[in-house]
């Protein structure tokens, strides 16, 4: 089959405008170039080397269980039987960002959309949109964990409902996704000290710089998980996060998102959003950031 031509996102003067497509594509594995495989190898080996001691045990164990290797880009067809046996999830190939409702519907059906193309060598350390490495290395391993896998499916069902409620609900829910699935931290030890925190967020584990920054820099806040507080909190797209939220366990995440969100959306609609770098009186503060290097504007 001819390899699909990548749908280039619109890089405009306003920055990156995603081209949302709903198409599900077969992974064009034979069309990957040696450069594509080399980019995978470099990113995979670098993260495998630095993540022990930074990423949570569940992530490291899942990465091993999936038997992904650096020598070449994994085949979705090889990974799906392993993933499906563990938690009923499967990978589907997509062009990139999906319209929100499409994305939620896939998650609700335990289908994780993985971008089929991988970044170019010159994009090694940053690209504006999720590529194969962000999705496959960042998001997929934790879908091997039964509790987190259930949370992701519940998130999808919640997203479909939120889509029916309206934009404000979707904004609240996107913040939850951002501060847990993408940029979440988890307590690994029991003392609650800074050095007991570990990473589970996909946006962090797929980034060398942020994997180190989120735990070892004094700049960001590290604050205990609080569902409604998170759903009010604005975030950063193009810089490291100003605040990272810490869960005690994946069970805590699952329990917190069990209730019907409709009354929560109602309460949140009457409250102001919270700037990304603020610390509230009511926060359980693990670390109050110095704010070094923060940009004043740009919170979304
Ligand atoms: N589409 N493929 C893909 N991957 C995502 O992570 C994704 C998406 N569409 C929308 C989206 N994430 C966020 O807006 C979620 O909060 C819904
Ligand atoms: Fe992501």
pLDDT tens for 109-141 read 999 999 999 999 999 988 888 999 999 999 999
Pick the residue whose CA is nearest to atom 16 on ligand 1.
174
Pick the residue whose CA is nearest to atom 15 on ligand 1.
174
With cut-offs at 50, 70 and 90, classify the pLDDT of residue 82.
Answer: very high
Cα 60 to averaged position of ligand 1 atoms, centre (Å): 24
Q: Measure the CA dihedral 91/96/101/102, to 10°.
A: -50
Q: Which atom of ligand 1 is nearest to the CA of 173?
A: 16
Contact 41, 137 (CB under 8 A): no
DSSP 101: H
Pick the residue whose CA is nearest to atom 6 on ligand 1.
97
Strand partners, 197: 187
Can you tell me the distance from the alpha carbon of 114 to that of 95, in angstroms, rounded to the nearest whole number?
A: 8
pLDDT tens for 256-289 read 988 999 999 999 999 999 999 999 999 999 999 9
Determine whether the annotation assigns residue 182 to a binding site: yes
Which ligand approaches the C-alpha of residue 96 most closely?
1
Predicted pLDDT of residue 22: 83
Decide whether any atom of ligand 1 lies within 6 Å of the 94 Cβ: yes
Q: Among 184, 187, 87, which Cα is nearest to 140's?
A: 87
Can you tell me the distance from the alpha carbon of 283 to that of 39, in angstroms, rounded to the nearest whole number?
A: 40
With cut-offs at 50, 70 and 90, classify the pLDDT of residue 249.
Answer: very high
Q: Among 217, 231, 221, 95, which Cα is nearest to 162's?
A: 231
Predicted pLDDT of residue 2: 46
Question: What average pLDDT is seen over the chain?
Answer: 92
Percent of the chain with pLDDT over 90: 86
Residue 252 exposed, middle or buried by CB count within 10 Å (0-12, 13-18, 19+): middle
Q: Among 196, 246, 201, which Cα is nearest to 224's?
A: 246
Can you tell me the distance from the alpha carbon of 220 to that of 65, in angstroms, rounded to the nearest whole number?
A: 32
> Is the pLDDT at 21 greater than 90, yes or no?
no
Can you tell me the distance from the alpha carbon of 209 to that of 96, in angstroms, rounded to the nearest whole number?
A: 23
- Would the CA dihedral through 233, 239, 242, 246 be positive or negative? positive
pLDDT tens for 224-248 read 999 999 999 999 998 999 999 999 9
Residue among 19, 25, 93, 97 whose CB has most ligand 1 atoms within 8 A, to mutate: 97
Determine whether the annotation assigns residue 163 to a binding site: no
Which ligand approaches the C-alpha of residue 97 most closely?
1
Q: Which atom of ligand 1 is nearest to the CA of 100?
A: 10
Mean pLDDT of 32-53: 97
Would residue 166 be called left, alpha or beta, if left means φ above 0 and alpha means ψ between -120 and 50 degrees? Answer: left
> Is the pLDDT at 10 greater than 80, yes or no?
no
pLDDT tens for 171-192 read 999 999 999 999 999 999 766 5
Determine whether the annotation assigns residue 139 to a binding site: yes
Structural domains for the chain: 10-287 (1.10.800.10)
DSSP 274: B
Predicted pLDDT of residue 127: 86
Decide whether any atom of ligand 1 lies within 6 Å of the 113 Cβ: yes
Angle among Cα 196, 200, 201 to the nearest 5 degrees reads 130
How many CB atoms are located within 10 Å of the residue 2 CB?
Answer: 6
Q: Is 294 in a helix, a strand, or coil? A: coil
Cα 44 to averaged position of ligand 1 atoms, centre (Å): 22
Q: Check if the interface score ipTM surpasses 0.95.
A: yes
With cut-offs at 50, 70 and 90, classify the pLDDT of residue 6.
Answer: low
Predicted pLDDT of residue 195: 61
Cα 216 to averaged position of ligand 2 atoms, centre (Å): 22
pLDDT tens for 202-216 read 999 999 999 999 999
């Amino acid at each position: 089959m001819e390899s699909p031509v990548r749908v280039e996102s619109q890089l405009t003067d306003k920055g990156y405008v995603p081209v949302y497509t709903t198409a599900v594509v077969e992974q064009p594995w034979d069309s990957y170039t040696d450069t594509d495989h080399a980019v995978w190898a470099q990113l995979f080996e670098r993260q495998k080397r630095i993540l022990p001691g930074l990423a949570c045990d569940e992530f490291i164990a899942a990465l091993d269980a999936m038997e992904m290797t650096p020598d070449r880009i994994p085949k979705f067809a090889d990974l799906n039987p392993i993933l499906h046996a563990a938690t009923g999830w499967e990978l589907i190939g997509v062009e990139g960002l999906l319209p929100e409702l499409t994305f939620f519907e896939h998650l609700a059906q335990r289908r994780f959309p993985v971008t089929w193309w991988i970044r170019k060598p010159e994009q090694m350390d940053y690209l504006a949109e999720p590529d194969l490495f962000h999705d496959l290395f960042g998001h997929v391993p934790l879908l091997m964990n039964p509790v987190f896998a259930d949370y992701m499916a519940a998130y999808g069902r919640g997203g479909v409902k939120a889509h029916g409620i309206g934009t404000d609900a979707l904004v609240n829910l996107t913040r939850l996704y951002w501060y847990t699935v993408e940029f979440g931290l988890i307590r690994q030890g029991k003392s609650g000290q800074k050095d007991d925190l570990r990473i589970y967020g996909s946006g962090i584990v797929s980034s060398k710089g942020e994997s180190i920054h989120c735990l070892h820099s004094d700049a960001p806040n590290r604050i205990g998980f609080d569902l409604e507080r998170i759903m009010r909190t604005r975030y950063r797209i193009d810089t490291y996060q100003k605040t990272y939220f810490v869960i005690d366990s994946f069970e805590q995440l699952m329990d917190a998102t069990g209730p019907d969100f409709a009354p929560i959306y109602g309460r949140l609609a009457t409250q102001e959003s919270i700037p990304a770098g603020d610390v509230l009186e009511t926060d359980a503060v693990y670390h109050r950031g110095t704010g070094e290097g923060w940009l004043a504007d740009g919170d979304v």
